[in-house]
Amino acid sequence: MLITEVKIRKTFAGGTLKAIVSITIDNSFAIHDIKVVQGTDRIFVAMPSCKDENGIYRDIVHPIDVSTRDDFERIILDTYKRYIRLEKILSDDRLLS
């Protein structure tokens, strides 16, 4: 299984929610509404979830094993960090123009 595309859908400047992301797996399966969240100790990835009848949020989709979760998080966060760096460079260039 290979993540073949990561799309940063939206970024947020303030608060703990930093971005909403979509990924494509093997050019054939998409997962939307993945969140990039700033926690107290680190930035992490939260899979899409919904609230059940008891008010508890449950992941709709998620990796089963730690290795796959680590791979997903690494790829998504690397893409997010590159996106933010590029956004900053473009913003700085506009200020200099």
Please state which architecture CATH assigns to domain 3-96. Answer: 2-Layer Sandwich (3.30)
3-state secondary structure of 33: strand
List the beta strands (DSSP E) in 26-76: 29-38, 43-46, 49-51, 57-59
pLDDT of 3 above 80: yes
pLDDT at 97 over 70: no
CB 25 within 8 A of CB 2: yes
pLDDT tens for residues 16-56?
999 999 999 999 999 999 999 999 999 999 999 999 999 99
Q: What is the pLDDT of residue 94?
A: 63
